[in-house]
Amino acid sequence: MDTSSLLRIQNLHAGYGDVPVLWDIFLKVDRRKIIGLLGGNGAGKTTLLNVISGIISPMKGRVHFLEEDITFSNPTRRVQMGITQIPEGRLLFYGLTVKQNLRLGAFTRKDKASLEKGLDAIFQLFPRLAERKDQLAGTLSGGEQQMCAIGRGLMSRPKLLLIDELSWGLAPLVVDHIMVALKKVYEEMELSMILVEQDVQLGLEFSHRAYVLETGRIVKEGRSEDIIKDPDIRKSYLGI
């Protein structure tokens, strides 16, 4: 049971309006695995995450989560089932406090009683947030905002966490800190992740398996340690 697949995407085509952005995507996420989704700008990584989150409905193809067909389920249902996205650019609720932001992360959770416990766990993970829990999210620094976004995502107790551009606009040092915390999250909570990254090296170091997207198609997939050794990848993405 533990090794059965969590998310299965078959033959997916999707896009905005009439314009397709993704073609023929097959993707599988197993339990307790970190998947890297890599590729250049405009490759369709964010679109794919949005399809998984239910913000965009696909033109063709099927999406299964926990063996249930969720192709046309709405975002709310998906969050309830355990798919949570930490969006690119954080998208915090800047006019609300850190604590309110975190609480909203648990919006779909029915067991409100254990909510405080969840909050404590987040504050333990990111002590910086605990210090600033009553501050407005807009006044946090970039790194703290990213922590808050991750915390907010974790509050829904996801089974699958989608993280879009974790390193976006962050100093290298801060990226390191957050990566450490994320590793801890992965180890402590039983979840899978899809990690979308521009920084291919970072993405590959951190994931078990990886998919490489180019202009809307998957051009390479495999174990991360294999991909990182792939000469094509090294040449076009790592600049080595």
Partner 1 sequence: MLILEGHGLTKNFGGLTAVHKVDFEIQEGEIFGLIGPNGAGKTTLLNLINGIFPITQGEMFFLGQRLNGLKPHQITRLGIGRAFQIVRAFEGMTVKENVLVGSLFGTKKRKDIGTGMKETEKILDFVGLGPKKDYMIPEITIADRKRLELARALVMDPKLLLLDEVMAGLNTREVEDLMEMIFKVNRQGVTILVIEHVMKAVMGISHRIMVLHYGRKIALGSPKEIAENEEVIKCYLGERFVRKEAERKGHSRAK
Partner 2 sequence: MLGQVLVNGLLQGGFYACIGVSFSIVFGIMKIINLAQGTQVILGAYITYAASHLLGLDPFFTLPLSIIGLFILGYMIQKYLINLVAKGGLIITSLLTFGLNLILINIALLIWKADFRGTNPWYMGMSFEVAGVTIPYVRLLIFVIAILFTIVLELFFRKTETGNSIRATALNPKAAQLMGIDIGKTYCLTFAISSALGGAMGTLFILAKPISPFTGGDFLIILFSVAILGGLGSIPGALLAGIVLGMVESFSTMFFGIAFQNVVLNLVFILILIFLPTGFMGKRFYG
Q: Which does 219 bind (CB under 5 to 8 A by kind): partner 2, partner 1, none?
A: none
4 binds, among partner 2, partner 1, none (CB under 5 to 8 A by kind): none
Alpha-carbon gap, residue 101 to 86, rounded angstroms: 13
CB of 176 to partner 2, least distance (A): 25
d(CA 12, CA 93): 32
Alpha carbon of 5 to those of 2, 30, 88: distances in Å?
8, 4, 26
Is residue 79 a contact point for partner 2 (CB under 8 A)?
yes
- Residue 171 binding partner 1, by CB under 8 A: yes
- Does position 169 interact with partner 2 (CB under 8 A)? The reply is no
Residue 24: count other Cβ atoms within 10 Å of its Cβ. Answer: 13
Q: Where are the beta strands (DSSP E) in 107-216?
A: 160-164, 192-197, 209-214
Helix (H, G, I), strand (E, B) or coil at 106: coil
Pick from 44, 54, 118, 143 the residue near partner 1 by CB under 8 A.
Answer: 143
Does 215 participate in binding partner 2 (rule CB under 8 A)?
no
Q: How far apart are CA 44 and CA 17, in angstroms?
A: 15
Q: According to the binding rule CB under 8 A, does residue 66 interact with partner 2?
A: no
Per the CB < 8 A criterion, the answer to whether 35 and 9 are in contact is: no
Of residues 22, 25, 137, 182, which one binds partner 2 by CB under 8 A?
137
E strand or H helix at 59, and its extent?
none
Report if residue 80 touches partner 2, rule: CB under 8 A: yes
Q: Which is nearer to partner 2, 50 or 224 (CB)?
A: 50
Nearer to partner 1, 113 or 173 (CB): 173
Burial of 201 (0-12, 13-18, 19+ CB in 10 A): middle
Binding segment for partner 2 (CB under 8 A), chosen from 24-32, 39-47, 98-106, 211-219, is 98-106
10 versus 135: smaller Cβ distance to partner 2: 135
Among 4, 11, 76, 215, binds partner 2 (CB under 8 A): 76
For 12, other C-beta atoms within 10 Å of its C-beta total 21
Q: How far is the CB of 40 from partner 1 (least distance, A)?
A: 3
Residues near partner 2 (CB under 8 A) are: 53, 55, 74-76, 78-80, 84-85, 87, 91-96, 100, 103-105, 107-108, 136-139, 152, 156
